[in-house]
Amino acid sequence: MNLLKPKGPLHTGGGNVFDVGEYQLLLRYVNFKQDQLYDGTSKTNYSAPGPYERTTENYQLAFRAGIIRNVDLRVIAPVLGREMKRKTKRDDLTQNNFGLGDIRLIGRYRLLAQNKGDNFNMAVGLGIKMPTGNTNEHKDGELLPGYLQPGTGSWDPILELAAHRGAGRHRYGAHLIYRLSTGGERGEQDFECPDDFQYNMAYVYGLSRHLDIFMEMNGRYMTKAKLAGITQENTGGHTIHLTPGFNIKFTPKMHISLGVPIMAYRDLNGEQLSEDYRISTKLVYKF
């Protein structure tokens, strides 16, 4: 066994597929505060009414298992805690919500594997995002704003392609994932959340048997949302985070990752709140 072999990074999924009898639990936490207003690539001044600060805490529990030869399955359940501060013409309001989001189910098929003589590992995935999150949350008799609703109400197909290569202390990886939005609802209105395309690249270096360091590039492009058939101009856009971080390897089957995704590029559609950085961590146990 190569004790210096690095684990995967935070967000760039690997190209491996679990064999039958392999299982994994993953706990992920992401936190960020959006308190700066941008129009496209430029920072702009806030003027009431409207939201001026949004905070998100995203907790995810994922279970993964090899089910048949060359195929594994992942179930990802998010729990979202969100807070929004906004000004009206008369008040300064703080609203929040906490609840189960939309669960994702993704199957993967192995295309290539280094342990079978290929130069790198590659897998293709197909899945579905299910409308398990509530879209009609009320507080004090008032429908909460869309940002505070944990669900989208839609069944969205997911397609992914991932690859990585391990070479001693080194690991190189790339991961593409696309979610196609279909019609859902927000309260009593039809709602279509943005299509979501994410592209990730990563390098990991095994410093020792207990520590890796990594650097990721995490890109994301989102289309504009639609509410009641009307395109929402201040939604969607393109962002790129650079994520330095490290893995602490407790045992060959258990490790924790911590990283700080730093905003390197943003081009948002219309005026939107944005953040400069995030805090992201995950705990992985394979059995």
pLDDT reading at 201 higher than 80: yes
pLDDT in tens, 94-137: 999 999 999 999 999 999 999 999 999 999 999 999 999 999 99
For residue 127, the SS3 value is: strand
* Helix, strand, coil shares, percent, the chain, to 5: 0, 65, 35
Share of the chain above pLDDT 70, in %: 99
Report the largest interatomic distance among the alpha carbons of the chain, rounded to a whole angstrom.
Answer: 68
Q: What does the DSSP 8-state code read for residue 168?
A: T
Task: Domains for the chain: give ranges and CATH numbers.
Answer: 23-286 (2.40.160.40)
Give the mean model confidence (pLDDT) for residues 4-15.
Answer: 96
Q: Which residues make Cβ contacts (< 8 Å) with residue 115, sequence separation at least 6?
A: none
d(CA 202, CA 218): 9
Measure CA 209 to chain center: 28
Give the mean model confidence (pLDDT) for residues 73-83.
Answer: 98
DSSP labels, 211-251: EEEEEEEEEEEE---EETTEE-TTS-EEEEEEEEEEEEEEE
Q: Which residues make Cβ contacts (< 8 Å) with residue 114, sequence separation at least 6?
A: 120, 121, 165, 166
Give the mean model confidence (pLDDT) for residues 232-256.
Answer: 97
Tell me the whole-structure pTM to 2 decimals. Answer: 0.94
Give the mean model confidence (pLDDT) for residues 38-48.
Answer: 93
Q: How confident is the model at residue 88 (pLDDT cuts 50, 70, 90)?
A: confident
pLDDT reading at 245 higher than 90: yes
Give the mean model confidence (pLDDT) for residues 35-59.
Answer: 95
pLDDT reading at 247 higher than 70: yes
